[in-house]
């Protein structure tokens, strides 16, 4: 290199030596080498070991030659906090316990916040009624906060008004004897209950209705019918050997206690060894649901006929003397009886209260109460059915008896049965106040609209399913100044003055915590998110039932259900939810009238598949003079002579956001899902128009006529019946077969070159340790290889509820592409849940196939076919065994996606991240790169979580704890179907799951050595119904 005589000249006096330490004096070669370098070894070396200085010389020379002087990066200003907020370290997330009100139940949560910005929701793992898991709606509620179409201003008859104007109104109504009515969304908040009592005192004769868009709370009403008080059942599926579901989708994403149910049910289905017990699930249902996919025996029946089945079982059990049971009912009943109380029978939300009552009575008779069913006293008075109270209120409104109607978080103009003519009644009320997240159908017809805060913006409280008192604390100040929480509005209305939500909640909690030091107890509660030992007491009241089941009506029936992705429409403007495929039909961005193949044939209806899209016949459904138009969907396994529809579509939400308009050559306005108004508007049809006066979930005597028109339906999966013999993707056995050969999944598996060698990952660490290609110690000595990540997915417990998909979407900044692009096959979900119809034997293929779900993340193959074909090495294997996607390096040849046998790679066909609105940008996880157009992306095993945990362990100078890292999908899964962890640790959960005899690897014969294993499915059929042999 450069030689300078001054430096290179030898030292004159060789006898006198200065030395720093003994190794220096001894000329320790390591020290000499270290001292000769400018920086510590590895810090300035290139991978091949050439010198930094050398490189700088070359770089300098080429710079000088290029004469590059004109380029300048845009100036960016970084604003520091002038005062650092307490506990906030930039880039280090904080987690707060909070709770979300979901259908009147507080769901305990842990929300993660970066620099004051909530970015991810998880379940609160310490809460007595929750684990760390969470459902679709909890996950998606994050995007609700950042919904760009949220209402921002107080409106009075459509024009902006101020909070002071509203205060004036509240002051005025204090005077005189005003009749007030409140329609409030169900909520378990003690503070709201306290204010309700205040309201009822302040305004005598006030009406308060907990308004549910789906109608009566049949479960509570049913129990009330036989026990005389409002009770809440807790089902302990883990203790049940026989479970009977009568149209009850208790595992569905919209089940009120779905998280608990799923966890508990999954425990009864886990098989680790040949001797493990497994529950048996019977399902009778009209449409295919998540619960139905897990049934050991599923019978498709019209919802209307299910009460008949309940009756038959009851009569077999000696409760009712009525119909003689058929073979199916008799087998169920006998099985129930043989379970010695370790059984339970439950009815679904489509069933009338009487069926619920009958089920409770059967549980009582079977001895299940106390064993598998616990009844909790919810401490509320007897419920008056909504189907009775709501029409009464409307009558009063029409008579002009109501002076003020307050609507808290409800949207009755949209979802009340149109035969009740709610909008007309509303116009007779002097002041109608709507409090909601959006300027929606009801807001536009109300005299007042107040923007509602999101639960992450406001103080609140609630009770979880078991009654545990739970606090909902905000993580962020309201994004919009005018937004107020329900309790704040309620309090203002009652008292005529504004008090902060924080004070209102504290006021409620003061008596609760009175026997302790309030401040410290309150802080403790906030930290934990709940107050210990505040659950509802379990009771065992005496039962008496004299109700009569309605006789089934054989006419064509229409069943209304909550939508598994957008619920009752409250999640309709949520991009994640709209693009979430329906668990069964896999339809996105639409609602349909689901019918069976036979019904379709009877009415001459078709749903044609052509070139990647479905073209469905549009039909008119008419009842009581009202009619709606919906495209049909033909679902094998659906009951005949019944139609299933879901609520929540056909919304009309107003927005003030300008439309995106680009020149004709720029497709940004087409590819931006937010470009033209609100997301929800114009998607699907509002079905509540057809509902009868009582808003019953099942409507009979519906007229179905074809319109002759077609509607394009987009799904993320094609229809298809799988021949399991030829393609062993899903492997199944009955419990008996499993007992005989627990490793049945590996029978007949094609041999692979690796199958007779060492186990797949055994030689991997040594490879990295001893044969690392890099010369630089910084690369060579990276100890990432000490962990070998892997995943196991249990097909026996997966319900296909989609929670993992939304969790993945929230964690990994996965963009939403819209109906058209999903139709083009360009959805971006990193994790998908494959749904397969499965028929065995000579069964009528269309009539009764099974459905099996198979979650499909990247399999992180050891011999990854994607890695070897990338021309620029943009997808590579990490030392810890993950298949990594280097977005910066990707040039987008899509060869990797072609060569992926699992087709889990997703491509950015457009610049989807460019157009996301400012507020939605706030929802993005700062630890995950936003992908530009033209690059490939895919599941990374949540590498950012792995590295974050490793960093934390490094800072704390400790090894990683066992099972310390959890992927987003694993964390969300209530069924604990997904296990992730370190394969190098013999005792980690994933290593144990890998040893499960049911394990198999998908497409193992390709010798790609996937790191994801599946545990084969086991069915537990009743031999009376399905003779062996």
Partner 1 sequence: MSSSTDKTVKLPAEPPLVTGNLGFHDITQLVSYHTEKRPPSVWYMALAVSSTLLCILLLMIAYLVWNGVGVWGNNNPVGWGWPIVNFVFWVGIGHAGTLISAILFLFRQQWRTAINRSAEAMTIFAVICALLFPTIHVGRVWVIYWTLPLPNQMEMWPQFKSPLLWDVFAVSVYFTVSLVFWYIGMVPDLATLRDRARNAFKRRILGFFSLGWSGANRHWRNYEKTYLLLAALATPLVLSVHSVVSFDFAVSIIPGWHTTIFPPYFVAGAIFSGFAMVMTLLILARRIYGIENIITIDHLEKMAIITLLTGTMVGFAYITEFFIAWYSQVEYEQYAFLNRATGPYAWAYWIMMSCNLLFPQFFWIKRLRRSIPFLFVTSIIVNIGMWFERFVITVTSLHRDFLPSSWDYFNPTIVDILTFVGSFGLFLTLFLIFLRYLPMVSMAEVKMVLPESDPHHYDDNHSKSEPH
Note the residues at the interface with partner 1 (CB under 8 A): 46-48, 55, 59, 611-612, 665-667, 671, 717-718, 720, 722, 726-727, 729, 821, 824-827, 832, 834-836, 854, 856, 865, 868-873, 889-895, 897-899, 901-903, 905-911, 932-936, 1003, 1006, 1008
H helix intervals, 660-705: 668-671
Could you give the angle at the alpha carbon of 278 between the alpha carbons of 839 and 795, nearest 5°?
50
Looking at the Cβ atoms of 126 and 834, the one nearer to partner 1 is 834
Least distance between partner 1 and beta carbon 819 (Å): 14
Cα-Cα-Cα-Cα torsion 967, 972, 973, 977, nearest 10 degrees, comes to 10
Looking at the Cβ atoms of 521 and 930, the one nearer to partner 1 is 930
Cα 538 from Cα 376, distance rounded (Å): 4
Looking at the Cβ atoms of 541 and 901, the one nearer to partner 1 is 901
Looking at the Cβ atoms of 257 and 802, the one nearer to partner 1 is 802
Instruction: Collapse the DSSP code of 865 into the 3-class scheme (helix H, G, I; strand E, B; otherwise coil) and give the result.
Output: helix
Least distance between partner 1 and beta carbon 901 (Å): 5
Looking at the Cβ atoms of 39 and 872, the one nearer to partner 1 is 872
The token pair at 535 is 């659950």
Looking at the Cβ atoms of 45 and 364, the one nearer to partner 1 is 45
Looking at the Cβ atoms of 22 and 611, the one nearer to partner 1 is 611
Least distance between partner 1 and beta carbon 954 (Å): 25
Least distance between partner 1 and beta carbon 891 (Å): 5
Looking at the Cβ atoms of 899 and 919, the one nearer to partner 1 is 899
Looking at the Cβ atoms of 77 and 665, the one nearer to partner 1 is 665
Least distance between partner 1 and beta carbon 848 (Å): 20
The token pair at 324 is 């003689």
Instruction: Collapse the DSSP code of 451 into the 3-class scheme (helix H, G, I; strand E, B; otherwise coil) and give the result.
Output: strand
Q: List phi, psi (to 5°) of 377.
A: -85, 115
Backbone dihedral region for residue 528 (phi beyond 0: left; psi -120 to 50: alpha; all else: beta): alpha
The interaxial angle of helices 353-366 and 218-227, nearest 10 deg, is 60
Backbone dihedral region for residue 979 (phi beyond 0: left; psi -120 to 50: alpha; all else: beta): beta
* Contact of 852 with 293, CB cutoff 8 Å: yes
Least distance between partner 1 and beta carbon 907 (Å): 6
HSE at residue 488, side-chain half, CA atoms within 13 A, is 25
Looking at the Cβ atoms of 229 and 717, the one nearer to partner 1 is 717
**DSSP letter for each residue of 785-837:** GG--EEEEEETTT----SHHHHHHHHHTT-----HHHHHTT----SSEEEEEE
Strand partners, 120: 112
Least distance between partner 1 and beta carbon 585 (Å): 14
Cα 790 from Cα 1014, distance rounded (Å): 11
Q: List phi, psi (to 5°) of 811.
A: -70, -40
Least distance between partner 1 and beta carbon 610 (Å): 8
**DSSP letter for each residue of 739-780:** HH-TTGGGTTPPP-TTTTSS-TTTTHHHHHHH--S--SHHHH
Least distance between partner 1 and beta carbon 271 (Å): 25
Least distance between partner 1 and beta carbon 798 (Å): 14
Q: What DSSP designation does 933 have? A: T
Q: Give the Cβ contact number of residue 803 at 10 Å.
A: 30
Looking at the Cβ atoms of 317 and 870, the one nearer to partner 1 is 870
Cα-Cα-Cα-Cα torsion 32, 38, 44, 45, nearest 10 degrees, comes to -40
Looking at the Cβ atoms of 29 and 663, the one nearer to partner 1 is 663
Looking at the Cβ atoms of 98 and 715, the one nearer to partner 1 is 715
Residue length, the chain? 1029
Among 834, 570, 597, residue whose Cα is nearest residue 718: 834
Among 39, 425, 459, 387, residue whose Cα is nearest residue 212: 387
Least distance between partner 1 and beta carbon 1012 (Å): 13
Least distance between partner 1 and beta carbon 586 (Å): 9
Question: For 212-255, where are the E strands, in sequence order?
Answer: 231-235, 242-246
Least distance between partner 1 and beta carbon 389 (Å): 46
Looking at the Cβ atoms of 234 and 588, the one nearer to partner 1 is 588
Least distance between partner 1 and beta carbon 771 (Å): 17
Looking at the Cβ atoms of 480 and 909, the one nearer to partner 1 is 909
**Which run of H or of E encompasses 434?**
strand 431-436
Strand partners, 699: 558
Backbone dihedral region for residue 725 (phi beyond 0: left; psi -120 to 50: alpha; all else: beta): alpha
Least distance between partner 1 and beta carbon 826 (Å): 5
Least distance between partner 1 and beta carbon 804 (Å): 16
Cα 79 from Cα 913, distance rounded (Å): 25
- Angstrom CA distances, 986 to 690, 787, 980, 991, stand at 58, 11, 13, 6
Looking at the Cβ atoms of 167 and 1003, the one nearer to partner 1 is 1003
Question: Cβ contacts of residue 300 below 8 Å, gap of 6+?
Answer: 284, 285, 286, 596, 637, 638, 639, 640, 847, 848
Looking at the Cβ atoms of 49 and 682, the one nearer to partner 1 is 49
Among 826, 828, 787, 819, residue whose Cα is nearest residue 953: 787
- Angstrom CA distances, 1016 to 238, 839, 853, stand at 20, 17, 11
Least distance between partner 1 and beta carbon 823 (Å): 9
Least distance between partner 1 and beta carbon 934 (Å): 2
Q: Are strands 280-285 and 242-246 parallel, antiparallel or unpaired?
A: parallel
Looking at the Cβ atoms of 542 and 726, the one nearer to partner 1 is 726
């Amino acid at each position: 290199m450069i030689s300078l005589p001054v430096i290179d000249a030898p030292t004159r006096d060789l006898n006198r030596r200065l030395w720093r330490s003994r190794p220096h004096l001894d000329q320790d070669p390591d020290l000499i080498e270290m001292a000769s370098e400018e920086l510590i070894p590895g810090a300035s070396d290139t991978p091949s070991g050439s010198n930094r200085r050398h490189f700088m010389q070359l770089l300098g020379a080429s710079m000088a030659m290029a004469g590059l002087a004109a380029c300048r990066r845009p100036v960016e200003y970084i604003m520091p906090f002038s005062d650092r907020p307490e506990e906030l370290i930039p880039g280090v997330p904080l987690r707060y316990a909070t709770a979300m009100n979901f259908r009147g139940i507080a769901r305990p949560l842990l929300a993660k916040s970066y620099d004051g910005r909530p970015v991810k929701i998880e379940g609160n793992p310490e809460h007595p009624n929750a684990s760390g898991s969470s459902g679709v709606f909890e996950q998606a509620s994050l995007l609700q906060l950042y919904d760009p179409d949220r209402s921002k201003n107080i409106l009075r008859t459509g024009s902006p008004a101020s909070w002071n104007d509203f205060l004036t109104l509240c002051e005025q109504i204090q005077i005189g004897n005003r009749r007030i009515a409140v329609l409030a969304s169900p909520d378990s908040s003690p503070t709201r209950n306290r204010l309700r009592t205040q309201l009822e005192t302040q305004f005598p004769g006030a009406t308060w209705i907990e308004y549910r868009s789906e109608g009566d709370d049949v479960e509570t009403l049913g129990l009330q019918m036989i026990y005389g008080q409002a009770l809440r059942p807790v089902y302990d599926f883990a203790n049940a050997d026989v479970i009977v579901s009568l149209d009850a989708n208790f595992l569905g994403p919209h089940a009120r206690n779905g998280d608990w149910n799923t966890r508990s049910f999954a425990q009864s289905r886990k098989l680790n060894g040949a001797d493990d017990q497994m529950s048996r699930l019977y399902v009778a249902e009209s449409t295919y649901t998540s619960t139905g996919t897990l049934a050991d025996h599923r019978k498709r029946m019209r919802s209307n006929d299910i009460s008949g089945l309940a009756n038959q079982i009851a009569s077999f059990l000696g409760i009712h003397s009525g119909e003689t049971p058929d073979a199916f009912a008799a087998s169920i009943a006998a099985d129930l009886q043989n379970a010695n109380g370790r059984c339970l029978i439950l009815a679904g939300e489509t069933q009338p209260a009487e069926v619920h009552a009958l089920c409770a009575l059967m549980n009582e008779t079977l001895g299940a109460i106390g064993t598998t069913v616990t009844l909790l006293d919810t401490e509320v008075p007897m419920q008056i059915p909504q189907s009775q109270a709501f029409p009464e209120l409307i009558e009063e409104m029409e008579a002009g008896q109501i002076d003020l109607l307050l609507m808290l978080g409800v949207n009755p103009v949209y979802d009340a049965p149109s035969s009740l003519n709610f909008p007309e009644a509303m116009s007779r009320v002097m002041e109608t106040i709507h409090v909601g997240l959006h300027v929606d159908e009801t807001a536009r017809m109300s005299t007042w609209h107040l923007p509602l805060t999101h639960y992450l913006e406001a103080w609140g409280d609630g009770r979880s399913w078991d009654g545990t008192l739970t606090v909902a604390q905000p993580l962020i100040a309201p994004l919009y100044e005018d937004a107020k929480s329900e309790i704040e509005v309620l309090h203002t209305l009652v008292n005529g003055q504004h008090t902060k939500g924080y004070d209102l909640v504290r006021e409620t909690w003061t008596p609760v915590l009175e026997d302790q030091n309030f401040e410290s107890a309150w802080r403790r509660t906030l930290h934990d998110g709940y107050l210990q030992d505040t659950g509802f007491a379990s009771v065992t009241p005496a039962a008496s039932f004299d109700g009569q089941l309605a006789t089934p009506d054989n006419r064509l029936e229409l069943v209304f259900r909550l939508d598994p992705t957008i619920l009752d429409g409250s999640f309709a403007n949520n991009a994640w939810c709209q693009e979430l495929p329906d668990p069964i039909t896999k339809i996105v961005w639409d609602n349909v009238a689901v019918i069976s193949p036979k019904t379709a044939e009877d009415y001459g209806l078709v749903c044609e598949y052509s070139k990647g899209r479905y073209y469905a016949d549009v039909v008119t459904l008419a009842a009581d003079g009202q009619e709606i138009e919906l495209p049909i969907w033909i679902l094998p396994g659906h009951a005949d002579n019944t139609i299933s529809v879901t609520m929540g579509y056909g919304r009309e939400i107003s927005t003030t956001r300008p439309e995106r308009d680009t020149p004709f050559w720029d497709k940004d306005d087409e590819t931006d899902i937010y470009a033209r108004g609100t997301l929800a508007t114009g998607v699907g049809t509002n079905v509540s128009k057809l509902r009868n006066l009582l808003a019953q979930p099942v409507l009979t005597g519906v007229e179905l006529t074809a319109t002759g028109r077609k509607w394009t339906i987009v799904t993320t999966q094609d229809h298809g019946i799988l021949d399991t013999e030829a393609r062993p993707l899903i492997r199944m056995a009955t419990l008996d077969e499993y007992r005989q050969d627990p490793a049945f999944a590996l029978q007949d598996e094609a041999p692979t070159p690796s199958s007779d060698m060492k186990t797949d990952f055994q030689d991997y660490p040594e490879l990295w340790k001893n044969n690392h290609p890099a010369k630089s110690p910084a690369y060579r000595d990276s100890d990432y290889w000490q962990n070998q990540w892997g995943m196991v997915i249990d097909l026996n417990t997966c319900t296909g509820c989609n929670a993992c998909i939304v969790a993945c979407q929230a964690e990994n900044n996965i963009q939403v592409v819209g109906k058209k692009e999903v139709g083009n096959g360009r959805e971006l979900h990193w994790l998908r849940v494959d749904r397969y119809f499965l028929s065995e034997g000579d069964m009528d293929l269309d009539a009764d196939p099974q459905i099996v779900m198979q979650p499909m993340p990247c399999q992180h193959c050891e011999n990854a076919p994607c890695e070897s074909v990338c021309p620029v090495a943009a997808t590579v294997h990490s030392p810890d065994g993950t298949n990594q996607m280097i977005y910066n390096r990707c040039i987008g040849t899509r060869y990797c996606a072609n060569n992926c046998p699992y087709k889990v790679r997703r491509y950015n066909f457009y610049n989807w991240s460019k157009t996301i609105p400012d507020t939605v940008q706030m929802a993005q996880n700062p630890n995950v790169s936003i992908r530009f157009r033209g690059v490939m992306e895919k599941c990374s095993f949540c590498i950012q979580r792995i590295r974050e945990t490793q960093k934390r362990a490094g800072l704390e100078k400790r090894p990683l704890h066992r099972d310390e890292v959890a992927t987003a999908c694993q964390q969300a899964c209530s069924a604990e179907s997904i296990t992730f962890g370190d394969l190098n640790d013999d005792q980690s959960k994933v290593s144990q799951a890998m040893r499960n005899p049911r394990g198999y690897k998908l497409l193992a014969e390709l010798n790609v050595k996937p790191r994801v294993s599946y545990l084969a499915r086991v069915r537990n059929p009743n031999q009376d119904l399905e003779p062996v042999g």
